[in-house]
Amino acid sequence: MVKVRSFSYSLLQLVAFCGLFWLCNLAVAALHIPIPGSVFGLGILVLLLGVGIVPERAVKAGSAVLLGELLLFFIPPVVSVLKYRALLQADGLVIVACVVLGTLMALVGTALVVDRIYTLEKRMNDKRDQQRHLHDDHHVGEGV
Amino acid sequence: MSDTLLACLSFAATVGFYLLAKLAYRHKKVFWLSPMVAVPVALVAFVMLLHIPLPDYFRYTNLLVLMLGPATIAFAVPIYQQRETIRRFPLTLMVGVATGVVMGLLSSWLLVQIFPMPDVAARSMLTRSVSTPFAMQVTEQFGGVPDLTAMLVLMTGVVGMLICEPAFRLARIRTSLAKGAALGAASHGAGTAKAHEIGREEGVIASLTMIFTGIAMVIGAPLFASLV
């Protein structure tokens, strides 16, 4: 019974996400907003969650389903590789090489940069936390 | 067999193989059983063996692809849930996203200059480092095609998962958080799954970096596309 209820709850939220997507597509077209309806909708929902108009539990289950099964939604276009059989036979190896090398470059490049920045930001955060603690201790001292 | 029957069969097979692979992978965590590898391979074999014409295959499975729109909106929820991390590491996230977008585009662009390939493949290659819903959305602005892009995005995810550990060791990446950000930025969903294996905070950073990299790619596409 609980399972049935949580299933229908998720389904309802799923329908709500589809409705929001549809509305956002209309809005983007009508207002000539230069970004896709889906990304516009993402921004709107973050905003609605942020100001508390939409409570988290109203979208949590539906979001978990959509993001958990994301792979299922783009499996069909991947089957289109069959359309590109000639391309893949001729250039498949080159394409694979590009993907491997490109991914390696992007991974290592991003990791190296973030490595430095994160160390810096963590040190800044720790310092701030430490100062706040000192400050708090000071107040406690005054109270006594 | 009638076209409609083939179309229904295609839909059932797509969902069926997916659920089966998911179940199998939960029991036995081997690479070739992971849904992102097993399902495309099984489906391509299925379509070829039954000689299903591609238009029939897509008639109903296209409904699944339509869900990428609502799924994009659903990314709002993890952003909201992880707002504390955003507040704590805004610089790390911003730099990670900017580097991710630039490195993703630049690496592909450079490599297709070195390795010549048909134009449509080269152009579909550009957006392969961001999550599928974003990549399929913008690839046409770069002159790519959505289905080829989806395949390249999937390949990038698989490759990223396989090479990340030796790559990080070789590059002497010190902080595990940098690994998370790089996985999210360069290898989207698959990379994020991998980052969750490293640790909770790494997973959170990876998923945020992935989402923001996708958004940045979509919003910046008109500018980037004018440069390449």
Higher pLDDT, A104 or A130: A104
Q: Examine the domain organization and report whether B62 and B173 are in the same domain.
A: no
Asked if pLDDT for residue A124 goes beyond 50, the answer is yes
pLDDT band at B168 (very low <50, low <70, confident <90, very high): very high
**B151 part of a folded domain:** yes
Chain A nearest CA to B199, separation (Å)? 16
Q: Examine the domain organization and report whether B211 and B109 are in the same domain.
A: yes
**B71 part of a folded domain:** no
pLDDT band at A1 (very low <50, low <70, confident <90, very high): low
Query: Which of 97-126 (B) contact A at CB < 8 A?
Result: 99-100, 103-104, 106-108, 111-112, 115-118, 120-121, 125
CB contact under 8 A, B99 and A39: no
Scan for tokens 């989207």, then name that residue.
B188
CB contact under 8 A, A112 and B178: yes
Q: Examine the domain organization and report whether B98 and B192 are in the same domain.
A: yes
Chain B nearest CA to A2, separation (Å)? 22
Q: What is the pLDDT of residue B70?
A: 95
Residue A41: name the closest of A22, A68, A59, A54 by CA: A22
Residue B159 contacts A where some CB pair is shorter than 8 Å: yes
Q: Examine the domain organization and report whether B132 and B155 are in the same domain.
A: yes
CB contact under 8 A, A114 and B99: yes
Q: Examine the domain organization and report whether B36 and B108 are in the same domain.
A: no
The minimal CB distance from B103 to the residues A109, A115, A125 is found for A109
Mean pLDDT comparison of A73-87, A99-113, B177-191, highest-scoring range: A99-113
Backbone dihedral angles phi then psi of residue B98, each to the nearest 5 degrees = -60, -45
Residue B198 contacts A where some CB pair is shorter than 8 Å: no
CB contact under 8 A, A99 and B187: no
Q: What is the pLDDT of residue B32?
A: 86
Q: Examine the domain organization and report whether B52 and B80 are in the same domain.
A: no
Q: Examine the domain organization and report whether B148 and B218 are in the same domain.
A: yes
Average pLDDT value for chain B: 92
Residue A105 contacts B where some CB pair is shorter than 8 Å: yes
Are B84 and A32 in contact by the 8 Å Cβ rule? The answer is no
Are A37 and A24 in contact by the 8 Å Cβ rule? The answer is yes
Residue A29 contacts B where some CB pair is shorter than 8 Å: no
Chain A residues within an 8 Å CB radius of B222: 34
Residue A81 contacts B where some CB pair is shorter than 8 Å: yes
Query: Which of 30-59 (B) contact A at CB < 8 A?
Result: 35-36, 39-40, 43-44, 47-48, 54, 57-58
**B142 part of a folded domain:** yes
Task: Domain count for chain B, please give it.
Answer: 2
Tell me: the pLDDT tens digits for B56-87? 999 999 999 999 999 999 999 999 999 998 99
Q: Which of B66, B84, B107 is the last residue before a domain boundary?
A: B66
At residue B207's C-alpha, the angle toward residues B206 and B211, to 5°, is 115
Long-range contacts of B138-144 (CB under 8 A, 24+ apart): B138/B217, B138/B218, B138/B221, B141/B221, B141/B222, B141/B225, B142/B221, B142/B224, B142/B225, B142/B228, B143/B119, B143/B225, B144/B120
- Looking at chain A, which residue has its C-alpha nearest residue B163? A104
User: In this structure, what token pair is assigned to residue B226?
Assistant: 């004018």
- Residue B40 belongs to what domain range? 3-66
Q: Examine the domain organization and report whether B21 and B98 are in the same domain.
A: no
Chain A residues within an 8 Å CB radius of B148: 80, 84
Disruptive mutation site among A93, A98, A121 for chain B (greatest number of B CBs within 10 Å): A98
Scan for tokens 């907003």, then name that residue.
A33
Q: Examine the domain organization and report whether B81 and B107 are in the same domain.
A: yes
Asked if pLDDT for residue A144 goes beyond 60, the answer is no
Disruptive mutation site among A11, A78, A127 for chain B (greatest number of B CBs within 10 Å): A78
Cβ within 8 Å of residue B207, ≥6 positions away: B78, B82, B184, B192, B195
Q: Examine the domain organization and report whether B19 and B104 are in the same domain.
A: no
Q: What is the pLDDT of residue B227?
A: 86
Q: Which of B30, B48, B66 is the last residue before a domain boundary?
A: B66
Q: What is the mean pLDDT of residues B114-123?
A: 92
**B139 part of a folded domain:** yes
**B54 part of a folded domain:** yes
- What percent of chain B clears pLDDT 90, i.e. is strictly above it? 79
A30-34, A122-126, B184-188: least confident range: A122-126
The minimal CB distance from B67 to the residues A66, A77, A83 is found for A66
Q: Examine the domain organization and report whether B144 and B219 are in the same domain.
A: yes
Chain A nearest CA to B9, separation (Å)? 13
- Calpha distance A51→A39 (Å, rounded): 19
Asked if pLDDT for residue A143 goes beyond 70, the answer is no
Residue B73 contacts A where some CB pair is shorter than 8 Å: yes
Q: Examine the domain organization and report whether B204 and B150 are in the same domain.
A: yes
